[in-house]
Structure 1
Amino acid sequence: MKASLNILIAYFMVVTACSAQRSQSVLELYSHTINYPSYKVVFHLEVVPEGHQATSDSKRYFWYGGNQINITQGGFGGKLLDGAYREFYLNKNLKAEGNFDGGLMVGEWKKWRENGSLDSISNYSSGELNGLFARFDGKGILLEEGRYRNGLKHRKWLGHLSTDKVQVTYYKKGIVIQEKQSKLKIWMIKLGDKIKLRRKK
């Protein structure tokens, strides 16, 4: 009985190993590094047999070939970027960070300036801007925030013109439908002062 059990376990181990090898032969991940004059890129690749990866004519694919990262709309001519992606300045500060899935940008992406201050936060879905977006100045102060839908600005966007003034712009599929300025911050400060005075009385 024990011998039969050992044989069965060994059989399943062989089957699992063969299955893993077949999967690895279809989709293999490799880590690569490219050193540019002003920054370094660390990324992963997906090796896809010809005819395996379907593409969309409207999407831009990031792929590796000729010791550089290339971008092609509707196709690719090398190994697709897949997985974690990072760029570093020469001072080792992060320049950019995000993820790829089959050559397309996905999830949250962040960009930084060389001094380490945050430049922008964006979100992607299947290679298109989708979801929250925020942009910051050199001191890390929020300048602009809003949402993208299918690569276009959508609904309410806020532009922080100064500490007391906000530009409110409404979009529909990338087209401005309403725009106005608001001194909401000043109003809130004044309201807060009035509440404090009333409490003192």
Structure 2
Amino acid sequence: MSRYVIVIIVCCWMQGASSQNLPGLGANRVRINEADRSLVFEVEPVDDDIDVKSELIYSWYSANRIHTTQGGYSGKLLNGAYAEFYPNKNIKEQGTFKNGLKNGLWKEWTEGGLLVQSITWKNGLKSGGFSKFGANGLLAQQGKYLKGQLDGYLYDHYGKDSVGVTYYKKGVPTKKPVPFIKKLFAHKSHQRDTVKTAGQ
């Protein structure tokens, strides 16, 4: 066997090792192994008449890589489950794409397995409840997005005995009476001592 043929065989093997459709996991599921992470995701077929929005970020797969582009794509749109892993095999990020856009609940973890954040997306925009956690794994912030903007009450947890409260309307902090706050935290005595609203 000539040296040229051996080089071709080795190159093909390396290509298959870095990005492959895993047997038994479906023809539309792809795995990519990189030095600092590994990815498993789906590229299920999508409709040909997708209405691409210029303000949204699309994720797509081509040439053994995932690419992100605002207002367009080239290649296969990510469509279905997505998971990213640390080198130690712990999960880093998990969620679902729909036609190249994040959709539904997405979660992120530290390399040690602590939850970093949990955010709800709808068609590429943060929309719904979210929670963020500190380095100690305790809840640091929670609130809600509506079409990519903070909307409603944002709670900042400063420690065992204080919570800051800010009311947002379409991304803008707004003064708003919060008479229900004491009731809300009445069963959480460690959170009700310090309650502030925007403008106070």
TM-score by length of 1: 0.72
Q: Does 1:122 align with 2:123?
A: no
Report the equivalent of 2:131: 134
The amino acid of 1:159's aligned partner reads D
Instruction: Give, in whole Å, the separation in 2 of the partners of 1:114 and 1:178.
Output: 39
Shift of 1:52: 3.5
Structure ranking higher in helix proportion:
1
Aligned length: 161
Q: Does 1:71 align with 2:72?
A: no
Instruction: Give, in whole Å, the separation in 1 of the partners of 2:186 and 2:155.
Output: 13
Instruction: Give, in whole Å, the separation in 1 of the partners of 2:36 and 2:136.
Output: 22
Report the equivalent of 1:44: 42
Instruction: Give, in whole Å, the separation in 2 of the partners of 1:112 and 1:59.
Output: 25
Shift of 1:142: 0.1
In the alignment, is the contact (CA less than 8 A) between 1:45 and 1:83 conserved in 2? yes
Instruction: Give, in whole Å, the separation in 2 of the partners of 1:140 and 1:78.
Output: 38
In the alignment, is the contact (CA less than 8 A) between 2:117 and 2:131 conserved in 1? yes
The amino acid of 2:56's aligned partner reads K
Report the equivalent of 2:28: 30
Instruction: Give, in whole Å, the separation in 1 of the partners of 2:188 and 2:62.
Output: 56
Shift of 1:177: 1.1
TM-score by length of 2: 0.73
Report the equivalent of 2:88: 91
In the alignment, is the contact (CA less than 8 A) between 1:170 and 1:177 conserved in 2? yes
The amino acid of 1:107's aligned partner reads G
**Larger mean Cα displacement after TM superposition, 57-66 or 127-136:** 57-66
Shift of 1:73: 1.3
Shift of 1:56: 1.4
Instruction: Give, in whole Å, the separation in 2 of the partners of 1:156 and 1:52.
Output: 38
Percentage identity across paired residues of the two chains: 37
Instruction: Give, in whole Å, the separation in 1 of the partners of 2:99 and 2:187.
Output: 48
What are the superposed Cα offsets for residues 99-141 of structure 1, whole Å, 9 maximum, x if unpaired?
0111011000000000000000000100100000000112210
Q: Could you say which structure has the larger radius of gyration?
A: 1
The amino acid of 1:33's aligned partner reads R
Structure ranking higher in strand proportion:
1
In the alignment, is the contact (CA less than 8 A) between 2:129 and 2:142 conserved in 1? yes
Report the equivalent of 1:166: 163
Shift of 1:185: 7.4
Q: Kindly tell me: are residues 96 and 187 of structure 1, through their superposed partners in 2, closer, same or farther at Cα, counting changes over 3 Å?
A: closer
The amino acid of 2:67's aligned partner reads N
Q: Mind listing any 5+ residue stretches in structure 1 that lack a counterpart?
A: 1-27, 192-201
Q: Does 1:150 align with 2:151?
A: no
Instruction: Supply the RMSD in Å over aligned alpha carbons.
Output: 2.7
Q: Mind listing any 5+ residue stretches in structure 2 that lack a counterpart?
A: 1-25, 193-200
Shift of 1:44: 0.8
Counterpart of 1:46 in 2: which secondary structure? Answer: coil
Instruction: Give, in whole Å, the separation in 2 of the partners of 1:133 and 1:71.
Output: 23
Report the equivalent of 1:100: 97
